[in-house]
Amino acid sequence: MLVTGDGDFVPLVRALMKQGIRVAVAYFEYETENYRSFINDRLLTVCNYAININALERDKKYQPMFKSLFRANNPKSIDDRTYDDRRAI
């Protein structure tokens, strides 16, 4: 399982596949005002399986699972926590 969109991994994927290893790639595909994340077309083509994490996140079937994976950010910084809060970490 690779978690990347970088085409530099194509030779690695091909070498693994020559050894009979199936390769899955998980990637993030999104666009913001200043940044675009995507998977290299060659990497997408050469892998046995491809998982677009953002597409899964938007799929209503998987939304409860995604919400349970990540906890809400704690608004307190480490320095603002009490001694008891720090011990709980």
**pLDDT digit string, tens, across residues 13-38:** 999 999 999 999 998 887 888 887 88
State both tokens at 33: 């005002």
- Integer Cα distance of 19 and 88 in angstroms: 46
Total domains in the chain come to: 1
State both tokens at 80: 């603002």
Question: 50-60, pLDDT tens digit by residue?
Answer: 988 888 888 88
Range of the domain at 60: 2-87
- pLDDT at position 13: 95
- pLDDT at position 25: 92
Q: What is the pTM of this model?
A: 0.64
